[in-house]
Each structure stands twice: as C-alpha cells, then as structure tokens.
Structure 1
Amino acid sequence: MWSQWHLDCPPAGTTGDIALDKRLADAFRALIARPDLPSRLTWLEGEVFLTDHFPNPNAPADRYRATLIRWWLDLHGEAI
C-alpha cells in the first residue's frame, strides 16, 4: 500500500499538525506490526472506536480517526 515514509510523518504525507503527524506515524508502525490482514483490520476498528465521543470534525482526534478509516477502507478493498 505504501512504499516508504519518514518515521515522524504519516505515509500518506503530512497534515500540517506535528502532533497529529507523529500520532499517525505511530499508528502506521503499529498497523504494519500486525501479522495479517484480519488483525490489521481489527486493530484499526479498535483505534477508530477507542473513544465514545466524536468531537468537532476539524479537531485533531477526528482527523486521526478519519485517516484510520481511510486506511481501513484501503485494506478492506484489497481483501475483497
């Protein structure tokens, strides 16, 4: 899916928010550490629904969640 990335930047590019970029880069490393596709999808689902509140769509948490949802959709599309 992604060929390479800098450790402190998400693989799909920077967001302009350094803290969010680092969080996404950490999430990507956690994702690729999973051994197979089903465990990656399960991990992403857990991260997306980690909190039971959904703040403002422009908040960093929602941008984080939106990125993880895109990753899930990319992986799910590969599985079909």
Structure 2
Amino acid sequence: MTQHAVHLAAAVTHEDEWYVARCLQVEVTSQGTTIEEALDNLREALELYLEDEPVPEAYETEVITAPIEVRVA
C-alpha cells in the first residue's frame, strides 16, 4: 500500500492544565501538556483513525480559519 500525505486542519484550545487539539475535518481530538504535544498526539490519533477509515476527498480540501468576534448580551 502506498502512503500519501493528507493535509488537515486543527484547532487548539487551552482547557485547565491541558491543551486540546481537535481536527476540523474529522471527529478526532487529543490533548497534551503543551501545544506541540497536543498536536503530536492528534497526529498519532488521526493516523490510527485513518488506518480503518477511507480518506474521502472532502478531507483534502483546504480549510480557511479566521478569528471572528461575536457580541453577546
């Protein structure tokens, strides 16, 4: 089986003492004590997830992320 790179996007948040990394295209999340550790753990979790799941073309589309401000009452 040949391997190829799949480009995915992740969002990282700081929750208590953990950094939580979430993939934006696939329902996979991981955590770590640093941002780098959270992303490394997410990469490993995604590789395991994608061993059993086909990679739909939708995963390989570019995700544009941007901060937005929302005003709430």
Normalising to structure 1: TM-score of the pair? 0.30
Q: Which structure has the highest helix share of the two?
A: 1
Q: Which structure has the highest strand share of the two?
A: 2
Normalising to structure 2: TM-score of the pair? 0.32
Which structure has the larger Rg over C-alpha atoms?
Answer: 2
